[in-house]
Amino acid sequence: MDLNYCCAALFVKNIEISKAFYTGILGLSVDLDFGKNVVFKNGFTLWEIQSAHIIPATLGSAQISDSSVNRFELYFEVEDISLAYETLEDKNIRFLHKIHEEPWGQQTFRFFDPDNHLIEIGESMKQFIRRFFDQGMSVEQITEKTHVPEIEVKRLISR
């Protein structure tokens, strides 16, 4: 078997509300729009699956539409975490938490989409490695803090 990863698909209750959230609020671009199925240029899709579709018909509609369970999160990276947070802060979004520093040093924040899918936005690796270097940490200290190999730290700070 030769599998090729294609994309992740999020099941949504209302395709138009979700499409507006991902395009209007997060600024993603639509690659293909098939009405009840939207493919974004960054490689994931939204599906508004009708109750007659085999997935809810087999699993049950409640399993597909249960927005009380967060079984995964979408993860995005940005170069300016503060600007990303400020941009979303006034968009009537329910945040899980404000910007905070993860144990490995990366700054992140998390929030929910209209169907209660968890979304994380974090600094790019280059950004948080560079932040530590600019604060005076040595390559060895950065490696110890982040668990990023020294060779990769050196590559990232030399750019």
Q: Which residues contact 29 (CB under 8 A, 6 or more apart)?
A: 23, 40, 41, 42
> Tens digits of per-residue pLDDT, 6-48?
778 888 889 999 999 999 999 999 999 989 889 999 888 998 8
Domain 1-66 is of which CATH architecture?
Answer: Roll (3.10)
pLDDT score, position 69:
66
pTM for the predicted model, two decimal places: 0.79
User: Could you read off the pLDDT of 138-151 as tens digits, one per residue?
Assistant: 999 999 999 899 99
Please state, in angstroms and as integers, the Cα–Cα distance from residue 68 to each residue in 18, 20, 30, 100, 146, following that order: 17, 22, 27, 24, 32
Buried b / exposed e over 46-84, threshold 16 CB at 10 Å, is bbbbeeeeebbeeeeeeebeeeeeeeeebeebbeebeeb
Find out whether 44 and 28 touch, Cβ atoms under 8 Å.
Answer: no
Which helix or strand (DSSP H or E) is residue 44 part of? strand 44-47
